């Protein structure tokens, strides 16, 4: 199907309805748990969702633009240039056309984006494995331990929505749509590189296959080429603008990230962080947990490869995982940085779909309750940095 053959939205939405209803129920459970827990600690759950940590930085960008920075006592400089612009642009737009405040707009965008992301996850899983696996994949994404972030005024939900639908467009041969969505994903988070890599890999493989085929099938080659051209423009455009704005050249964005002590070191800082956990017995348990967690991620990816997931999904999930684990950023952020890597959940979704409906519902229900309680505890404690 080409970009000109637009599918009818209503049947697609009707097919995804069970997944979206289940997703909404899980997220509602998480918000209720947060409200109850926050009431016991005399905190505002809405403030925790919309005006803390990164959400506050995005709101400031939407309201005041770029240029705000905080200089810490140790010399670090936290600049709001580290935050990509699409989410604050949407917050500013919604604020301009509605009575909502900037913080309210961020929450509204996140709410809508999370539903779009759930629909996109379903569309990809349904396309590859069928409807039942699609529903299970959405529910598993909803009950992630850090799933509460999907309801926060953060950019993870928006990015996942754009990434999932871009991947779906790649899988169904809609190259212009895929390139446009990849461009927007690149304006949302630095990990937009993963979407670009997936699209480029799929397009190059498609070109190579056509060279050896007598007849060309699918979209015209110029659509793929244009999709490839569009895909990196978002991230590249913002990074180049930051370099020009700071006067530090094309790589000026790396200096901005360095001010936050973010960077890519191949996982060395994370390895040292894990090793430091073994200096005492109580923290050694956390170190063991981290090692087991990383091993499980690698195991899941290996299963994805063994199950022959489409190449774009493997590339996307691999790059997201690599960037998350090998970045020298705040180590408490890694679980939420991995949240967009939803193809890693597909083997679990396949296994869950094989269970009888009552048993799979019981499993999801139990995990949803645990996730809701953990999310409420997490946000009322250290929270996602």
Convert the pLDDT of each residue in 309-333 to its tens digit. Answer: 999 999 999 999 999 998 877 777 8
pLDDT tens-place string over residues 154-184: 999 999 999 999 999 999 999 999 999 999 9
- Does some domain include residue 315? no
* Residue 216 placed within a domain: yes
- Domain holding 127, by residue range, is 9-261+358-379
CB 150 within 8 A of CB 140: no
pLDDT at residue 7 tops 60: no
- 274 in a domain, yes or no? no
Model confidence pLDDT, tens digit, residues 327-350: 877 777 888 999 999 999 999 999
4 domain-assigned: no
Residue 190 lies in a domain: yes
pLDDT in tens, 23-37: 999 999 999 999 999
Indicate whether 280 pLDDT > 80. Answer: no
d(CA 318, CA 384): 23
**Domain-located, residue 286:** no
- φ/ψ of residue 327, rounded to 5: -90, 145
DSSP state of 264: B
The backbone torsions φ and ψ at residue 175, rounded to the nearest 5 degrees and listed phi first, read -70, -35
Question: How many Å is the Cα radius of gyration of the chain?
Answer: 21
Does residue 209 form part of some domain?
A: yes
Domain total for the chain? 1
Closest by CA position to 104, among listed 26, 51, 54, 29: 51
In this structure, the strands spanning 69-71 and 77-79 are: antiparallel
With cut-offs at 50, 70 and 90, classify the pLDDT of residue 13: confident
Structure-token pair, residue 357: 């409906």
List the one residue out of 78, 93, 150, 149 whose CA is nearest residue 118.
150
The answer as to whether 3 is a domain residue is no
Handedness of CA 366, 369, 370, 371 (dihedral sign): positive
DSSP 271-302: HHHHHHGGGSHHHHHHHHHHHHHHHHHHHHHH
pTM greater than 0.85: yes
Lowest mean pLDDT among 32-41, 109-118, 245-254: 245-254
How sure is the predictor about 217, in pLDDT bands with cuts at 50, 70 and 90? low
6 pLDDT above the threshold of 50: no
């Amino acid at each position: 199907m080409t970009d000109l053959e637009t599918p009818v939205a209503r049947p697609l939405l009707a097919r995804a309805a069970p997944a979206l209803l289940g997703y909404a129920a899980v997220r509602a459970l998480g918000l209720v748990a947060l409200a109850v827990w926050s009431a016991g600690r005399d905190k505002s759950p809405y403030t925790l969702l919309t005006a803390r940590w990164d959400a506050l930085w995005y709101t400031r960008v939407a309201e005041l633009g770029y240029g705000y920075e905080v200089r810490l006592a140790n010399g670090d400089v936290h600049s709001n240039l580290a935050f990509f612009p699409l989410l604050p642009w949407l917050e500013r737009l919604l604020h301009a056309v509605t009575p909502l405040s900037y913080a309210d707009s961020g929450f509204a965008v996140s709410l809508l984006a999370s539903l779009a992301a759930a629909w996109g996850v379903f569309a990809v899983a349904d396309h590859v494995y069928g409807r039942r696996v699609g529903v299970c994949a959405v529910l598993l994404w909803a009950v992630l331990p850090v799933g509460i972030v999907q309801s926060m005024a953060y950019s993870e939900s928006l990015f996942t929505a754009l990434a999932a639908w871009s991947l779906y467009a790649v899988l169904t041969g809609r190259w212009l749509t895929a390139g446009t969505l990849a461009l927007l994903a690149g304006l949302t988070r630095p990990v937009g590189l993963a979407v670009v890599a997936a699209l480029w890999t799929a397009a190059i493989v498609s070109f190579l296959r056509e060279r050896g085929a007598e007849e060309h099938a699918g979209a015209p080659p110029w659509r793929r080429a244009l999709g490839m051209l569009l895909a990196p423009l978002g991230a590249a455009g913002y990074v180049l603008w930051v370099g020009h704005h700071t006067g530090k050249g094309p790589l000026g964005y790396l200096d901005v990230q360095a001010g936050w002590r973010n960077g890519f070191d191949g996982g060395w800082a994370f390895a040292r962080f894990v090793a430091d956990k073994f200096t005492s017995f109580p923290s050694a348990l956390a170190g063991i947990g981290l090692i087991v967690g990383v091993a499980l991620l690698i195991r899941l990816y290996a299963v994805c490869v063994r199950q022959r997931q489409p190449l774009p999904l493997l590339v996307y999930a691999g790059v997201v995982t690599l960037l998350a684990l090998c970045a020298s950023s705040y180590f408490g952020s890694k679980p939420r940085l991995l949240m967009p890597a939803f193809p890693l959940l597909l083997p679990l979704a396949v296994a869950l779909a094989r269970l009888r409906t009552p048993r799979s519902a019981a499993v999801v229900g139990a995990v949803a309750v645990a996730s809701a309680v953990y999310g409420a505890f997490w946000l009322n404690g250290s929270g996602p940095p």
